[in-house]
Amino acid sequence: MLLAISFACLLPSNAVAESTTTKPNILYIMADDLGKEWISCYGAEDIETPNIDALAAGGMKFNYAYSMPACTPSRTTLLTGKYPWRTGWANHWDVPRWGVGYFDWKKKENTTFARLMKDLGYATAAAGKWQINDFRIEPEAMKKHGFDDWAMWTGAESSPDEEHAKKSTRRYWDPYIHTKEGSKTYKGKYGPDLYTDHLIQFMRKNKEQPMCMYFPMAQPHTPVAHTPDEPNAKSVLDRHKAMVRYIDKMVGQLVKEIDDLGIRDRTIVIFTTDNGSAAPPRGVIGRRNGREVVGSKGTELEAGVCTPFIVNCPGLVPAGVESDALTDFSDMLSTFVELGGGQVPDDFVTDGSSIAPLLLGNAKDTERKWIMALGYGSAKLTKDGVRPSKTFSTRVIRDKRFKVWVSNEKKIIRLHDLKSDPWEETNLIGSELAVHQKALDKFQAVVDSLPEKDAHPSYTSRAANPWDRK
């Protein structure tokens, strides 16, 4: 779609009432490495997710929603409304280990939805997994990205102390978490509980004003650890299932708190995941709709990028809807702003478009004709900073029926009819059927519109830490 949105900067719209007390709250929940094969309302077998299922039954369940195939690219796409080829974030392990200011809040192209929502009078909060900035070097990063409050796990923060480096990688038990007070280890605590409690306290404090909350969960990403509810789970599969059940429990806790605060009818809850499940040996194999599903995180298979996406708000979002509308993470910034009664600034470029009209029952479809996911590319550290191994990332593009795979040489190499071949087993690239040629022509026009080279990361280099050189 590649749209340059031109609107008056954050002016009120008619979609949502101007009064701050009637603007809807937004709670965006995003699990980490969880495919549809682990959500029961999407056909998962041998697992029950009743709280997530209840959101779907009382709201909208999307069948064609795209993330990126890996953690960090999904997060930056969500935050900025831009595809990774535009921001340079097609790779994963660029930050926090290798530089300072790579995701620079001073650059207009890195404006986040949180900063725009603050301009609309929203209280903003984030809790969970950040994995973008290094909080030891940039302790005010969350504030500068637009968040009023936060409790974040970063991954590994800069320190000449190897012991500190080990501590900062802890995401579950004895987690190392950054808040407004600084970073520290929470001995004896379970990280996901702290993130959930942090958001609950934030809601209690700010319930009288509109809130925009971002909950990038840490689970069930490896290491697969036992949960407080199932401390005796031994096998990787049993611990994984326990973590999924705990995700569902936290969703239920947050929804109950929203109910108890009396703000349920004006709080839009979105549940999704950042990419598909991890494959063995780091992950597990699930079953969905009578078929084994190998986790496809890091790949552009549908199991890697077509994620659960559920939206719920009694009285605002139609209930019991299963939607084939197209959407991906690049749509969220524009959607949040429109839900908040504003419009995207006229000098802000976004690759998505708002799906608010669909969510509010004012449209039957989104504006999207296609959605995109970039491949999980490799990168290397050079004297000029992190540079990708390829100048053009692989990617997939799909509409409601067809999907193409695009190579590093910017060539379409695969075509799949997802209606008849949902597991992408038959490549139709050589088909002479008119319907297939028409689809290829459509997608070729999209490919031709893309730059020949992806954007490169840009930041101020720092001295390498010991773990950088491994």
User: Do 296 and 432 have their domain in common?
Assistant: no
In a domain, 466, yes or no: no
**185 belongs to a structural domain:** yes
Residue 380 inside a domain? The answer is yes
- Whether residues 338 and 395 share a domain: the answer is no
- The distance in angstroms from the start CA to the end CA of the chain is 40
Specify the CATH number for the domain of residue 352.
3.40.720.10
Question: Distance (Å, rounded) from C-alpha 89 to C-alpha 184?
Answer: 28
Instruction: Return phi, psi of residue 369, to 5°.
Output: -100, -20
Summarised one tens digit per residue, pLDDT across range 103-129 is: 565 666 678 999 999 999 999 999 999
Question: Which of 369, 396, 417 represents a domain boundary (last residue)?
Answer: 369
Greatest pairwise CA separation for the chain in angstroms: 63
Both 208 and 284 in one domain: the answer is yes
Residue 64 placed within a domain: yes
DSSP 42-64: GTBSS---HHHHHHHHTSEEEEE
d(CA 176, CA 347): 38
pLDDT of 467 reads 41
Asked, for residue 54, whether it belongs to a domain, the answer is yes
Is the same domain home to 349 and 211? yes
By the 10 Å C-beta count (0-12 exposed, 13-18 middle, 19+ buried), 139 is classed as middle
Residues 193, 240, single domain; the answer is yes
Residues 337 and 361 in one domain: yes
pLDDT of residue 333: 97
Residue 250 falls within a domain, yes or no? Answer: yes
Spatial CA neighbour of 342 closest among 144, 116, 148: 116
Residue spans of the chain under pLDDT 70: 1-21, 92-109, 156-168, 379-387, 457-470
Contacts for 433 with CB less than 8 Å, ≥ 6 apart: none
- The 10 Å Cβ neighbour count of residue 435 is 12
Q: Based on the structure, what is the number of domains in the chain? A: 2
My answer on whether 346 and 408 are in the same domain is no
Q: Which of 319, 339, 369 is a domain's end point?
A: 369
Of 336, 369, 402, the one marking the end of a domain is: 369
Q: What is the pLDDT of residue 99?
A: 44
The CATH number of whichever domain residue 438 belongs to comes to 3.30.1120
Instruction: Please indicate, yes or no, if residue 178 is contained in any of the structural domains.
Output: yes
Q: Do 298 and 417 sit in the same domain of this protein? A: no
pLDDT for the residue numbered 385: 63
Are residues 68 and 205 both part of a single domain?
yes
Within this chain, do residues 365 and 382 fall inside the same structural domain, yes or no? no
Q: Do 323 and 385 belong to one domain?
A: no
Identify whether residues 334 and 385 lie together within a single domain: no
Look up the pTM and report it: 0.91
Has residue 468 been placed in a domain? no
Which residue range is the domain that position 306 belongs to?
A: 3-369
